[in-house]
Amino acid sequence: MEELIKIVESNAKAIAALTSDIQEMKRDRDVMYSLMRDLTQNQSRIYEVMQNQDNRQQQLTDQQRQLSNQQQQLSNQQQQLIEIIKTMADKS
Protein backbone atom coordinates (compact mmCIF):
# COMPACT_ATOMS: atom_id res chain seq x y z
CA MET A 1 0.00 0.00 0.00
CA GLU A 2 2.82 2.36 0.89
CA GLU A 3 4.42 1.71 -2.46
CA LEU A 4 1.16 2.55 -4.19
CA ILE A 5 0.96 5.85 -2.29
CA LYS A 6 4.52 6.68 -3.42
CA ILE A 7 3.60 5.90 -7.02
CA VAL A 8 0.49 8.08 -6.81
CA GLU A 9 2.52 10.92 -5.26
CA SER A 10 5.15 10.54 -7.95
CA ASN A 11 2.51 10.60 -10.65
CA ALA A 12 0.93 13.67 -9.07
CA LYS A 13 4.29 15.45 -9.10
CA ALA A 14 4.86 14.44 -12.73
CA ILE A 15 1.40 15.68 -13.71
CA ALA A 16 2.02 18.97 -11.89
CA ALA A 17 5.35 19.37 -13.66
CA LEU A 18 3.78 18.60 -17.06
CA THR A 19 0.93 21.01 -16.37
CA SER A 20 3.45 23.69 -15.48
CA ASP A 21 5.43 22.94 -18.66
CA ILE A 22 2.26 23.14 -20.75
CA GLN A 23 1.35 26.50 -19.21
CA GLU A 24 4.88 27.76 -19.87
CA MET A 25 4.70 26.55 -23.48
CA LYS A 26 1.36 28.37 -23.90
CA ARG A 27 2.87 31.58 -22.52
CA ASP A 28 5.90 31.18 -24.79
CA ARG A 29 3.61 30.59 -27.78
CA ASP A 30 1.58 33.70 -26.93
CA VAL A 31 4.78 35.75 -26.68
CA MET A 32 5.98 34.35 -30.00
CA TYR A 33 2.70 35.27 -31.73
CA SER A 34 2.86 38.73 -30.19
CA LEU A 35 6.41 39.20 -31.48
CA MET A 36 5.39 37.95 -34.93
CA ARG A 37 2.47 40.41 -34.95
CA ASP A 38 4.75 43.29 -33.97
CA LEU A 39 7.30 42.27 -36.59
CA THR A 40 4.63 42.15 -39.29
CA GLN A 41 3.31 45.58 -38.30
CA ASN A 42 6.81 47.03 -38.32
CA GLN A 43 7.56 45.49 -41.70
CA SER A 44 4.35 47.02 -43.03
CA ARG A 45 5.41 50.43 -41.70
CA ILE A 46 8.84 50.05 -43.30
CA TYR A 47 7.24 49.27 -46.66
CA GLU A 48 4.99 52.32 -46.33
CA VAL A 49 8.01 54.50 -45.55
CA MET A 50 9.87 53.03 -48.53
CA GLN A 51 6.88 53.70 -50.79
CA ASN A 52 6.62 57.27 -49.52
CA GLN A 53 10.33 57.73 -50.08
CA ASP A 54 10.03 56.42 -53.63
CA ASN A 55 7.08 58.72 -54.30
CA ARG A 56 8.93 61.70 -52.88
CA GLN A 57 12.02 60.85 -54.92
CA GLN A 58 9.87 60.71 -58.05
CA GLN A 59 8.36 64.08 -57.20
CA LEU A 60 11.82 65.56 -56.73
CA THR A 61 12.99 64.09 -60.03
CA ASP A 62 9.95 65.54 -61.78
CA GLN A 63 10.56 68.95 -60.19
CA GLN A 64 14.20 68.86 -61.24
CA ARG A 65 13.14 68.03 -64.79
CA GLN A 66 10.68 70.93 -64.79
CA LEU A 67 13.33 73.30 -63.44
CA SER A 68 15.76 72.14 -66.07
CA ASN A 69 13.15 72.78 -68.78
CA GLN A 70 12.43 76.20 -67.34
CA GLN A 71 16.15 77.01 -67.25
CA GLN A 72 16.45 75.96 -70.87
CA GLN A 73 13.50 78.16 -71.81
CA LEU A 74 15.05 81.10 -69.94
CA SER A 75 18.35 80.50 -71.66
CA ASN A 76 16.60 80.46 -75.04
CA GLN A 77 14.75 83.68 -74.20
CA GLN A 78 18.01 85.31 -73.10
CA GLN A 79 19.62 84.26 -76.35
CA GLN A 80 16.70 85.74 -78.30
CA LEU A 81 16.98 88.98 -76.34
CA ILE A 82 20.70 89.14 -77.03
CA GLU A 83 20.03 88.66 -80.74
CA ILE A 84 17.36 91.40 -80.67
CA ILE A 85 19.71 93.78 -78.84
CA LYS A 86 22.52 93.01 -81.31
CA THR A 87 20.16 93.65 -84.24
CA MET A 88 19.00 96.93 -82.73
CA ALA A 89 22.59 97.95 -81.98
CA ASP A 90 23.61 97.21 -85.56
CA LYS A 91 20.72 99.34 -86.92
CA SER A 92 21.68 102.36 -84.82
**Chain-centroid distance, C-alpha 67:** 30
Strands of 1-92 (E only): list them. none
Mean pLDDT (10-residue bins), the chain, 92 residues: 83 83 92 97 98 98 98 96 92 76
pLDDT at site 53: 98
pLDDT at site 30: 97
pLDDT at site 19: 87
pTM given for the model:
0.57
Alpha-carbon gap, residue 69 to 73, rounded angstroms: 6
